[in-house]
Amino acid sequence: MSFTDNFMTASVKPAAPANGADAALVKDTTTRTFRDDVIAESMKRPVLVDFWAPWCGPCKQLAPVIEKVVKEAGGKVVLVKMNIDEHPDIAGQLGIQSIPAVIAFQRGQPVDGFMGAQGEREIKGFIERLVGPLGPGATAELLVEAKAKADAGDAAGAAELYAAVLAQEPDNADAVGAMAKLHVDIGDLEGAERFLAMAPADKEGHPAVAGARAAIELARQAESLGDLAELEGRIATNPADHQARFDLALALAARGDRDRATDELVEIIRRDRTWNEDGARKQLLQFFDAWGPMDDMTVAGRRKLSAVLFR
């Protein structure tokens, strides 16, 4: 069995805040503390393990450079140093035969590495392969890249990037809202609510936070709904059964059929705008909040709504 076979891969978890309690971005580890310092920490963000020894000249050259780059990364990664003279077991299990050797751990697994003393540019590039661009504007670039991964269905990849943003900016509303939505997508509503709790009070109205909250509310509503076929049967028997049509819209939205969900609510509005105190229109607006103002379905849905309201 290999060194990492006993460790689980990462799930989507809140990133550790970059506050005073988490300020030690460079630390020493031992065989006994390796699991906590490296494996557990790498579930939150990448951990670079620097295997070194006091007699190693290139190790002394590498140490100040890699420590500088890690600190400048602002919490996106941490550096853990292991003296192989005092703690040789793990280096041996990983097959390390020469030092300095730097191994990057992510989600409990070694994912990349290099050997020998490297320059600042090379180390920065190595870290950027793990977390994306560093430096001014990096957060914005990470958010764009994370959204692209989420849109492509790569929830784990998106979560890693959002976690990197939160490690540097724990109150970043875009990342908080996005992480909450990722949890909604995988059915972990409690996890989504934990992420929303990270949002500062003054960010409650931020579109990403409000959208995530709306998505959670919709998912909670959908949990109590009946079978689609039953709802469709009720509507077929009585097209004026607005409650069945309303419930069907919620169920469809929960299953990702947003186009049809929109159409069912618009149909209620077309038939009876006053039903349930304008409930269908209010529900449709909640859909738009959950999907985001610039989402294609939100834009298309607003057009459909306008066509009914202003005909």
- One pLDDT digit (tens) per residue for the chain, 311 residues: 333 333 223 334 444 433 443 347 899 999 999 999 999 999 888 999 999 999 999 999 999 999 999 988 878 899 999 999 999 999 888 888 889 999 999 888 888 888 888 888 888 888 888 887 666 566 777 888 888 888 888 888 888 888 888 877 788 888 898 999 888 888 788 888 888 888 888 877 787 888 888 888 888 877 766 678 888 999 999 999 999 999 898 888 877 788 999 999 999 999 998 999 999 999 888 888 877 777 788 888 888 888 888 76
Q: Single out the catalytic residue among 59, 167, 173, 184.
A: 59
What's the rounded Cα separation, in Å, for the pair 193 and 198? 9
Q: Tokens 């990849």: give the residue.
A: 157
User: Is position 288 within any domain?
Assistant: yes
- Between helix 258-271 and helix 279-291 the angle, nearest 10°, is 160
What's the rounded Cα separation, in Å, for the pair 166 and 158? 12
59 flagged as catalytic = yes
User: Is position 79 within any domain?
Assistant: yes
User: Is position 45 within any domain?
Assistant: yes
What's the rounded Cα separation, in Å, for the pair 184 and 221? 13
Instruction: Say whether both 162 and 125 belong to one domain.
Output: no
Q: Single out the catalytic residue among 56, 134, 161, 269.
A: 56
Instruction: Say whether both 125 and 155 belong to one domain.
Output: no
User: Is position 291 within any domain?
Assistant: yes
Provide the 8-state DSSP code for 39: I
In this structure, what CATH number is given to the domain that contains residue 256?
1.25.40.10
Domain range enclosing 284: 225-309
Q: Residue 244 in contact with residue 286, Cβ under 8 Å?
A: no
What's the rounded Cα separation, in Å, for the pair 168 and 187? 27
What's the rounded Cα separation, in Å, for the pair 118 and 63? 10
Domain limit, last residue, from 64, 96, 131: 131
Instruction: Say whether both 146 and 161 belong to one domain.
Output: yes
Name residues whose C-beta falls within 8 Å of residue 99's C-beta, 6 or more positions apart in sequence: 51, 52, 53, 56, 58, 59, 84, 91, 115
What's the rounded Cα separation, in Å, for the pair 88 and 160? 31
User: Is position 3 within any domain?
Assistant: no
Number of domains in the chain: 3
